[in-house]
Amino acid sequence: MTPAEHFLRHAAECKFMADFARDPESKRTWIGMAQRWHRCAELAKQQSAHYAKQPRHRKPVKTWSH
């Protein structure tokens, strides 16, 4: 599971909790947490895309000189 998927799972859990919250303050809190998890997922996707574009460097092969 990627970090973005992990964050989206947390967001879904918070949304679920918001749907069942009885008082408006709790509902707002859960919705706010869900929004933050969504933002974390977006940032993780952006970061992942950024690193995927970076060239991969090969490690130098160790040579033994005598």
Task: Dump pLDDT digits (tens) for 15-37.
Answer: 999 999 999 999 999 999 999 99
For residues 45-61, give the mean pLDDT. 74
Query: pTM for this structure?
Result: 0.73
Percentage of the chain exceeding pLDDT 70: 80
Residue 48 near residue 54, CB atoms below 8 Å? no
Q: How is the chain split into domains, by residue range?
A: 3-53
Would you say residue 59 has pLDDT above 80?
Answer: no
Would you say residue 47 has pLDDT above 80?
Answer: yes
Q: What is the mean pLDDT of the chain?
A: 89
